[in-house]
């Protein structure tokens, strides 16, 4: 089976056929950096990280472009409220997003363009639209003329133009030919940043930014455009309109992840229910939070509860427990071992992570049975399968990401704990169980859990 994905534009699951054989190009609408990220924001990053990893594992050379919207109305509003320059707000929150992506194990994008670094490409795109009769300048602003594209506008969101409301993206609608025309460029206003254009100084509109960046790095026609389902209209609808009206093929496939909700309401800071990433990784470990976000199907909505989060953490710990115990028996894991066919089929079927994780848990159950029987050959095979599946999902507990490569204190702690465990072993051998228990309790107080196994005592950091 080859990769099939649900395409929002055709509302059907289609076989993925790349623009260029052996290569895959993905554009993901990244952060609008007016505030730090909550788990609803980072879900998109995790979902598309799994897609990227699976496509790479499937043999594609993937170019992954995830943008940063570092200038827009919201950033300017926060800037005014805090009395700091707009770029201070943008830089502070971009760093928070980068930290969150890294903390949850998302691979760095191939390129991560900022909107403010691509104004020349935006000007070129507007010039092309004006020349083709699809855009017009008015009072320092530039607008897309939706009537000039009326036969196709609304195709992504499955709406008709006559049923659409005004764009509501300017203070003065009188400068528009049609209230539904959307702003490509916003003319200069007091206190706002500006860039020069042939139509006067101003700043870019949100939709224009993504079209300019996507086509610069991925070409006029590329494979996949992704983002949250809340971006279908107006953002992605407007991206399609302005890009195709300018003569670009733009995205062949549109993928949208579902929302994360609390009490049936979409996650948002304005609702006062945001769950910021630094707070979440105090509740569970980052890898457990990634498991929680990657587990449901990417197109489904997630109803957040702390109970569900802790259940996900416990499920991951069962997988981790097998990998840890098996790795004490099998020291060399076959990184080239084939993936179970059911796992590959699940991911090829519109990135079916729930079914893929079901396969992981089934292999883990078999692995635990093999461990109990002492069947090292079966353990070696099942450990390799488990780690290779987890690697695709970004969840391998033995990967450098989750073992703290670079700042890993494991060797230091190992040496210190080894001394204590030798002392405990000696105490047990002389039947001084009070001393052995005291050593175990001292380690527990230091945040280290000791487990006695058939292969000797092992330790891990307490959860």
Second-level CATH architecture of 4-257: 3-Layer(aba) Sandwich (3.40)
β pairing state of 23-32 and 61-69:
parallel
Binding residue per annotation — 376?
Answer: no
Nearest to 319 by CA among 400, 405, 383, 403: 383
The CA distance from 379 to 421, in Å, is 27
Q: Which two tokens stand for residue 255?
A: 């993928």
Same fold, 4-257 and 298-403: no
Q: Does residue 74 have a known ligand-binding role?
A: no
Domain boundaries, the chain: 4-257, 298-403, 410-461
175 assigned to a ligand binding site? no
Buried b (16+ CB within 10 A) or exposed e, 353-366: beebbebbeebbeb
**Do the annotations mark residue 65 as ligand-binding?**
no
CA distances, 386 to each of 73, 343, 354, 374 (Å): 46, 10, 15, 18
Q: Give the chain's radius of gyration (CA, Å).
A: 26
Q: Which fold has domain 298-403?
A: 1.20.120
Q: Is 173 annotated as a binding residue?
A: no
Residuewise pLDDT in 10s, the chain (463 residues):
799 999 999 999 999 999 999 999 999 999 999 999 999 999 999 999 999 999 999 999 999 999 999 999 999 999 999 999 999 999 999 999 999 999 999 999 999 999 999 999 999 999 999 999 999 999 999 999 999 999 999 999 999 999 999 998 888 888 999 999 999 999 999 999 999 999 999 999 999 999 999 999 999 999 999 999 999 999 999 999 999 999 999 999 999 999 998 875 555 555 445 689 999 999 999 999 999 999 999 999 999 999 999 999 999 999 999 999 999 999 888 888 899 999 999 999 999 999 999 999 999 999 999 999 999 999 999 999 999 999 999 999 999 989 754 345 556 666 767 777 777 878 787 887 787 788 788 888 877 887 776 666 766 666 6
Q: For the full predicted model, state whether its pTM sits above 0.85.
A: yes
């Amino acid at each position: 089976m080859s990769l099939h994905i649900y395409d929002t534009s055709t509302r059907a699951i289609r076989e993925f056929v790349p623009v260029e054989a052996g290569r895959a190009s993905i554009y993901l609408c990244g952060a609008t950096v007016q505030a730090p990220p909550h788990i609803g924001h980072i879900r998109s990053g995790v979902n598309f990280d799994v897609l990227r990893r699976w496509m790479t594992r499937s043999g594609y050379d993937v170019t992954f472009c995830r943008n940063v919207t570092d200038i827009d109305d919201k950033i300017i509003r926060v800037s005014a409220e805090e009395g700091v320059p707009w770029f201070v707000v943008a830089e502070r929150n971009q760093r928070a997003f980068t930290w969150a992506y890294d903390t949850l194990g998302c691979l760095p994008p191939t390129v991560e363009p900022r909107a403010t670094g691509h104004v020349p490409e935006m000007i070129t795109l507007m010039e092309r639209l004006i020349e083709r009769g699809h855009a017009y300048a008015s009072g320092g602003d530039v607008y897309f003329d939706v009537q000039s594209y009326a036969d196709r506008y609304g195709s992504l969101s499955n709406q008709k133009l006559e049923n659409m409301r005004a764009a509501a993206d300017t203070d003065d609608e009188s400068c528009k030919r049609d209230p539904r025309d959307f702003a490509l460029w916003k003319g200069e206003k007091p206190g706002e940043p500006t860039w020069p254009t042939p139509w006067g100084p101003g700043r870019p509109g949100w939709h224009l930014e993504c079209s300019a960046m996507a086509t610069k790095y991925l070409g006029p026609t590329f494979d996949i455009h992704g983002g949250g389902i809340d971006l279908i209209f107006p953002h992605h609808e407007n991206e399609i309109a302005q890009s195709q009206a300018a003569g670009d093929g733009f995205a062949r496939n549109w993928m949208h992840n579902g929302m994360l909700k609390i009490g049936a309401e979409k996650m948002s800071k304005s609702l006062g229910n945001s769950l910021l990433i630094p707070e979440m990784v105090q509740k569970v470990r980052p890898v457990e939070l990634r498991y929680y976000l990657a587990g449901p199907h990417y197109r489904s909505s997630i109803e957040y509860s702390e109970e569900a989060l802790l259940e996900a953490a416990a499920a991951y710990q069962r997988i981790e427990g097998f990998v840890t115990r098996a790795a004490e028996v099998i020291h060399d894991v076959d990184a080239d071992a084939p993936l179970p066919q059911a796992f590959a089929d699940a991911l090829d079927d519109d990135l079916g992570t729930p079914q893929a994780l079901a396969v992981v848990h089934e292999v883990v159950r078999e692995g635990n049975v093999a461990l109990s029987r002492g069947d090292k050959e079966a353990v070696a095979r099942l450990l390799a399968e488990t780690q290779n599946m987890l690697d695709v999902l970004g969840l391998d507990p033995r990967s450098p990401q989750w073992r703290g490569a670079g700042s890993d204190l494991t060797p230091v702690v190992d040496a210190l704990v080894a001394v204590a465990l030798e002392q405990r072993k000696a105490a047990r051998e002389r039947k001084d169980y009070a001393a052995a228990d005291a050593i175990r309790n001292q380690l527990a107080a230091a945040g280290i859990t000791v487990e006695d196994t058939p292969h000797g005592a092992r330790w891990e950091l307490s959860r």
